[in-house]
Amino acid sequence: MAGTVRFGAVAISFRPGQVRLADVLAQVGVVDELTVRLVDLNGESREVHLRMTEKWSATSWRPALECPQCQAPAAVLRVQGEQVLCARCRPAHTAHHLNKNCRTWRDEGAIADRLVRSVLLGKGISSNSRLARQLEVRSLARIELVGEQALHLVRTIDRAGFINP
Ligand SMILES: [Zn+2]
C-alpha cells in the first residue's frame, strides 16, 4: 500500500450501519489502518478496525477499504453482526427486497422507509417534506378507500335487512 503509514487514525461514519470510503478519505486521507466509529442500524455505537488496500481503476491504483472477511477492495462496508463486510460477503436483503410483494409496501411502506432513511441520512428538509407529503396523500387515499368499502358493506347489509329490521 502506497499510503501514508499513520497510527491511531480515527474516522467517524455519519451513515448508520455502514462505512464509506469517501467519508474516511475526507477525514483521515489514505492510511494503512484505521478505526471507524459508527452507529449501527439499532442505534448502538461501535468501533471497527479496518485496513485500507488499493483497487485498479481504469488508469491508476485508487485507495479502497479492505473487507475484513475476504480482503477484497470495497467502497462501502456494511454492518453484519460484529463486523462490517463488503457486498459480496453480505448480500443485501434490503427492506425493499423483503417486502416488495406486499401490498402495504407498494402502498405506503416504501415511502415510509425512504422517509426514515432520508431523515437518518440528514437529507434536506425539502426531500423529507416531499416524502412526508407523498405518504400523507397515499395514506389519505387508502383511508378514503377503506371508508368507501366500509360504507358499501354497511349499505349491502342494510339492504339485506340485517340492520334496523
Ligand atoms: Zn468481503
Are residues 49 and 22 part of one domain? yes
Ligand 1 centroid to Cα of residue 33, in Å, is 17
Number of domains comprising the chain: 2
Ligand 1 (ion): which residues have CB within 5 A?
67, 69-70, 86, 88-89
Pairing relation of β-strands 33-39 and 60-66? unpaired
Q: State the pLDDT at residue 78.
A: 93
Q: What is the pTM of this model?
A: 0.55
Distance from C-alpha of 52 to C-alpha of 149, rounded to nearest angstrom:
59
pLDDT one-digit tens code per residue, 69-82: 999 999 999 998 88
Phi and psi of 90, rounded to 5°? -130, 85
**Greater confidence, 163 or 64?**
64
- Final residue belonging to a domain, choices 85, 117, 140: 85
Are residues 101 and 75 part of one domain? no
Distance from C-alpha of 62 to C-alpha of 112, rounded to nearest angstrom:
37
Q: Which residue segment(s) compose the domain that 22 sits in? A: 10-85
